[in-house]
Amino acid sequence: MEGYQKDKAEIFGRAVKAGKRTYFFDVKSTKAGDYYITITESKKRFMEDGKFIYDKHKIFLYKEDFQKYLETLNETMDFIQQEQPFDPEEIKRQNNYPPNNNNNSEFTDVNFEDLDQK
C-alpha cells in the first residue's frame, strides 16, 4: 500500500511487547490535520514451511470517542479488579516497568511498513 504513510502522517508512536504479541499505539493525522489513535496488535505466526507472517488487528480511535473509550476501559478494568483482584505495582515489577534503559538486549527489530499491509 504505497503512499499510505504520506496520506496519514504518523505523529507519535509507542510499542509494547507483551509475551508473543506486540501492541503499537500510534497518533496519526488526517489530511485535515485532525489527530486520531491507532492501536495495532501484531503477532508472529509461523507457517508449516518455516516462514512466518504477522497477524495484525487494528483499532482506530477518534477524538470524539476518547472519553467514552476511557470510561469504558476504566469500568472494565475496575470490574476485573473487583472479581479477580490484582496488584498493579506487582504487574509493573513483573514487566520491568518502567523499562530499564541500560539493557538493550530486549530490543526488537520491527518493520513498521508491515503494519499497513493487508
Domain that residue 59 falls in: 4-116
Number of domains observed in the structure of the chain: 1
Residue 4 above 60 pLDDT?
A: no
- Find the CATH number of the domain harbouring 11: 3.10.450.700
pLDDT of residue 111: 53
Residue 114 above 90 pLDDT?
A: no
The pTM of the full predicted model, rounded to 2 decimals, is 0.63
Please report, to the nearest 10 degrees, the dihedral formed by the alpha carbons of residues 103, 105, 106, 111 taken in order.
120
- Tell me what the mean pLDDT of segment 46-75 comes to: 93
pLDDT of residue 3: 37
- Tell me what the mean pLDDT of segment 90-114 comes to: 58
- Tell me what the mean pLDDT of segment 60-64 comes to: 95
